Amino acid sequence: MAENFPQIFDTRSFRINIDEAFNWIVANYGEPLEILFLPVLKMLIVMEKFLQWLPWYVVLIALSGLTYLACRSWKATLGTAVMMFLIGVIGIWDPAMSTIALMLTSTLLAVLVGVPVGVIMSRSNTMQSITLPVLDIMQTMPIFVYLIPFVMLFGPGKIPALLATIVFAIPPVIRLTNLGIRQVDAEVIEGVTSFGATPRQRLMTAQIPLAMPTIMAGINQTTMMALSMVVIASMIGAGGLGYQVLQGIQRLEVSRGLLAGLGIVFLAIIFDRIAQAYGRRMQQHLHMGS
Amino acid sequence: MADKSIKITVENIFKIFGSNPDSVMDQVRAGASKSELLEKTGHVIGIRDVSLKIPAGETFVIMGLSGSGKSTLIRHFNRLIEPTAGKIIIDDVNVMNLGEAALREFRRNKISMVFQRFALLPHKTVLENVIYGLVIAGMKKAAAIVHGMEQIDLVGLNGFENHYPNQLSGGMQQRVGLARALATDAEILLMDEAFSALDPLIRNDMQDQLKELQARLHKTIVFITHDLDEALRIGDTIAILKDGELRQVGSGAEILLNPADDYVERFVRDVNRARIVTIGSIARPAAQLACSKVTAASCKKLLTTQEAIIVTEAGKPKNIISREFFARYGSAGLKSKKSETDDVACINQSATLEESFSMLANSDEMAVVIDEGSKPVGVITPKVVLKAMARC
């Protein structure tokens, strides 16, 4: 018979302590935190309203145009147009727009935070060895675990959904910014340094531009991870396509879940294509001239 | 109290790589060998006690094989690498004492560098690369472009200013690197194996171009190479480095004719001396005597100490009286020497041995070595040339 693991100390009191400490934070700092993130919420809502306000054909043409600019391929452009059209046809245009808004907002914020963090990481090995395990934990911790504290702090709604999405999606852009900058040819860095570049000039004129293809790959992955988070984020009030999937589960409607799922796939394909093609073009520019 | 013409003084530079270089300095100063130090402390000696004096306006070549520490050494000049001990003085300023801002100013105005693999920014055009140093130093873009175009003109890249570096061949890319280094008007040019990555033919072209530019610009150039032929071609002075230690410093001819040790000797063994050694470096001294003053008494007196007398007329060499000639014909021969109207065989002191062969083959005994102003500086015989060729 298997022997049970001996109880070394009572985890119940340990857990109660953690919970109480967090409750105390919620009680005392919940409101200021909510005020702090209000601009972020505003940004998300404005973006969502704007996308939904735009006539559908404007969005369709804009996305197709973007695809053409990035891929320079009529086939890919036509694909984007058809997929966007289908999203409209199956009646999930508005939720799709709010999903795009959530994805773009969280990606934008993840980049705004992630690139500087990656830059700092690339400058010091100590910083890197501290940050890497944190990123590993962020990426392996089940997503639902993030949701609990965010919901407690902000209540169900768009802010916790957005923040959880950012936390989930930010590791790739941090990792690849760090990697990209570290991989920049040491002789080029010596070159700009030998002409008297300040650390800032070195970063802006050499490190970031040369690391850009790698950073773009990170942004692409971040975009995809943000999109994959939408279903889970909808459980705490993100709305959008994820909410349709959630409703499908709750009402046991296969069709609703399937159509919304299809919409997510379409969006993923479109944005992945654009980001990847853009990264590829940048790489070509660096290695073979334009 | 630095010599006025000395631009860069390197004083006792040591560079040790490892976790705590200062802790092993005493052992290194006491003469611990490279392998001994590595085994005992895990530290590697990069540069050991190198001191150099580099004159202004000279092309100074530091030569060594890979691992000799030459690239490490050159990076000390603009402090891309910090030494473990020692100092570098440029124009009476100890570069090691410069603060961050002063070091930046120093790099922007005083010293610039050309790299082995060009180190150009691939996302910037040729012109943008060339004016990079000016723009980061805060020069207005319009002024920088005017100045940059001059440099592009200088290195012969007109018409390519809007290309990207990767669209150009290696030789052209290195010209961009050179133009970028020249654009800041720095007095000192560091060239780290600048031509080593190029094809042999292109390399020759670049060496010629550098010599040509140097003749016009008179920069102080510190040139790193592993190629002895290159060193001999462009260097006024050559320093040979091995295992981070200086083995010999001297002109190309000095190193070829008097190698300081076995290592240098082996290094120079395969060089075609006839193409490198100049007549001036092996010329024998000789007395000079104006034509009107040639008498038996004066010749006799001079030839007791000198091998030969160059008879001159209005400062130009007219004839030679050698010791043997005088011994054989005595004062009777002097008459013919004085009146002979044939031009005596003359050779410029900067000519190579190879260039002297045909002339020496056609002259009976001695030839006069002259300088650029046709003034005689010494004499040369086929025997002396053969001796120089025979490495003894």
Residue A235 falls inside a structural domain: yes
Q: Can you read off the two tokens belonging to residue B170?
A: 């290696």
Distance from CA of A286 to the nearest CA of B (A): 6
Q: Taking CB atoms and an 8 Å limit, are A201 and B105 in contact across chains?
A: no
Residue A54 falls inside a structural domain: no
CATH number, domain of A158, equals 1.10.3720.10
Give φ, ψ of B363 to 5 degrees: -100, 155
pLDDT at B389 over 50: yes
Distance from CA of A198 to the nearest CA of B (A): 7
Q: For residue A271, give its domain range.
A: 93-288
If contacts are CB pairs under 8 Å, which of residues 122-181 in chain B contact chain A? Answer: 122-123, 132-133, 136-137, 163-167, 180
CB A30 within 8 A of CB A154: yes
pLDDT at A289: 44
**Strand partners for B284:** B379
Question: Who among B111, B119, B184 is closest to A188 (CB)?
Answer: B119
* Chain A residue with the nearest C-alpha to that of B116: A187
pLDDT at B2: 43
Given a cut of 70, the residues of chain A with pLDDT beneath it are 1, 285-290
Average pLDDT, chain B: 88
Q: In angstroms, what CA-CA distances link A208 with A180, A235, B172?
A: 8, 37, 26
CB A170 within 8 A of CB A113: yes
Q: Taking CB atoms and an 8 Å limit, are B119 and A185 in contact across chains?
A: yes
Question: Who among A197, A210, A287 is closest to B166 (CB)?
Answer: A287
d(CA B330, CA B324): 9
Amino acid, single-letter form, for residue B294:
V
Q: Domain B280-389: give its CATH code.
A: 3.10.580.10
Q: What is the dihedral of CA B110, B115, B120, B126, to 10 degrees?
A: 70
Domain ranges of chain B: 59-77+97-276, 280-389
CB B239 within 8 A of CB B52: yes
d(CA B236, CA B215): 12
pLDDT at A1: 60
Split at pLDDT 50, 70, 90, the class of B392 is: very low
pLDDT at B1: 39
Cβ neighbours of A199 (radius 10 Å): 11
Among A125, A189, A194, the strongest candidate for a mutation testing the B interface, having the largest count of B CBs within 10 A, is A194
d(CA B269, CA B172): 33
pTM of the entire structure?
A: 0.79
Classify strands B245-250 and B111-114 as parallel, antiparallel or unpaired: unpaired
When pLDDT is averaged across residues B63-75 and rounded to a whole number, the result is: 91
pLDDT digits (tens, 9 = 90+) for B183-217: 999 999 999 999 998 888 888 889 999 999 999 99
**Strand partners for A253:** none
Residue A241 falls inside a structural domain: yes
Q: Can you read off the two tokens belonging to residue A198?
A: 């300040």
CB A196 within 8 A of CB B107: yes
Q: What angle is formed at CA A101 by the lines to CA A221 and CA A53, rounded to 5 degrees?
A: 150
d(CA B273, CA A159): 80
Question: Who among A191, A194, A289 is closest to B166 (CB)?
Answer: A289
pLDDT at B90: 93
Q: Residue A80: how many CA atoms within 13 Å on its side-chain side? A: 25
pLDDT digits (tens, 9 = 90+) for B227-281: 888 998 899 999 999 989 999 999 888 888 888 888 888 888 878 788 778 888 8
Task: Give how many domains chain A has, as a whole number.
Answer: 1
Q: Angle, to 10 degrees, between the axis of helix B170-183 and the axis of helix B200-217?
A: 20
Q: Quote ipTM for the complex.
A: 0.78
Q: Which residues 6+ apart lie within 8 Å of B264 measured at CB?
A: B240, B247, B248, B255
Strand order in the sheet with B188-192: B111-114, B188-192, B220-225, B59-63, B237-242, B245-250
CB A241 within 8 A of CB A230: yes
pLDDT at B36 over 80: yes
3-state DSSP helix/strand/coil percent for chain B, to nearest 5? 45, 25, 30
Q: Taking CB atoms and an 8 Å limit, are A194 and B165 in contact across chains?
A: no
pLDDT at B342: 62
CATH topology of domain B59-77+97-276: Rossmann fold (3.40.50)
Q: Can you read off the two tokens belonging to residue B251?
A: 């002109």
d(CA B207, CA B252): 16
**Strand partners for B132:** none
Chain B residues touching A214 at Cβ < 8 A: none
Give φ, ψ of A75 to 5 degrees: -65, -50
Q: Is B190 on the interface with A (CB under 8 A)?
A: yes
CB A234 within 8 A of CB A143: no
Q: Can you read off the two tokens belonging to residue B133?
A: 């140093």
Instruction: Kindly give the residue spans of alpha helices, DSSP state H, lying in chain A.
Output: 11-36, 38-53, 56-71, 74-89, 93-123, 125-140, 143-154, 158-183, 186-194, 199-202, 208-228, 230-234, 240-251, 254-288
Query: In the A/B pair of chains, how many CB contacts fall below 8 A?
Result: 78
Q: What is the dihedral of CA B62, B68, B74, B76, to 10 degrees?
A: -140
Q: What angle is formed at CA B105 by the lines to CA B16 and CA B2, rounded to 5 degrees?
A: 65
Residue A165 falls inside a structural domain: yes
CB A143 within 8 A of CB A232: yes
pLDDT at B100: 92
pLDDT digits (tens, 9 = 90+) for A46-92: 999 999 999 999 999 999 999 999 888 899 999 999 999 999 999 99
**Minimal CA–CA distance to A115: which of A204, A33, A47?**
A204
